[in-house]
Amino acid sequence: MKKTFMSAVVITCLTLALIPAGYTSARENHGKFPHIDSNGQFPPIRWQTNVRHTIQVHIPQNSSAISQLHLEVPYGLTVKDDIQVSTKSGQKINITTSINGSKVVVSFSEPVTPGTKLTVELNNVKRTKVMIPYSYRLSATLVGSSTAIPIGVVYFRIY
């Protein structure tokens, strides 16, 4: 019994040691389409009615530049025209926003180049219904295209 257990432990350790580190990274700079890296809410508490939702979008090196981001705001949330976009280094990006009901379009004054990580801050998001979780659907319009392609869904869980 002890011999079998020890053999299983040794085989497991050897297997884990042989897995290359490249397979453990979920998202690298090798993709062809923009994607969502992470998100957050401040403050992360349930009873706050106005919150800030932050979404990080990565445009990989092999992707096309993007000219617009499209957000579908979930039921129970109201997004104000107080949106800021910056790069990972903190440089602010000039944008214009258009809000039509539950649809928000963020247009960039200049296309965002590949290899950029964006931070989109939705300030003063008003919560009218407490739902768990809230989920935004994001799409991006690539330069040279008139159609927005879906890039992911962002979930905000409330604690």
pLDDT, tens only, 7-37: 665 565 545 444 544 333 344 556 788 988 8
Judge contact between 109 and 92, C-beta under 8 A: no
The Cα–Cα gap between 103 and 72 comes to: 5
How crowded is the C-beta side of 67, counted as CA atoms within 13 Å? 8
126: tokens are 């008003």
Total-model pTM: 0.74
Judge contact between 149 and 140, C-beta under 8 A: yes
Mean pLDDT, residues 67-79: 91
C-alpha gyration radius of the chain: 20
The Cα–Cα gap between 71 and 127 comes to: 16
pLDDT of 21 reads: 40
CB atoms within 10 A of CB 61: 13
Q: Strand, helix or coil at 11?
A: helix
Q: Enumerate the domain spans of the chain.
A: 28-156
Q: What is the pLDDT of residues 95-139, one digit of tens each?
A: 999 999 899 999 999 999 999 999 999 998 888 776 667 889 999
Listed residue (71, 82, 157, 159) closest to 125, CA to CA: 82
pLDDT of 5 over the 80 cut? no
Helix, strand, coil tally for the chain in percent (to 5): 15, 50, 40
**Cβ-proximal residues to 57 (8 Å cutoff; 6+ apart), any chain:** 34, 35, 36, 37, 69, 117, 118, 120, 138, 140, 151
Compute the mean pLDDT over every residue in the chain, rounded to the nearest whole number. Answer: 81
pLDDT of 54 over the 70 cut? yes
pLDDT of 111 reads: 93
pLDDT of 146 over the 60 cut? yes
pLDDT of 60 over the 80 cut? yes
User: Percent of the chain beyond pLDDT 70?
Assistant: 75
pLDDT of 1 over the 80 cut? no
Listed residue (79, 82, 121) closest to 100, CA to CA: 79
Fold of 28-156: Immunoglobulin-like (2.60.40)
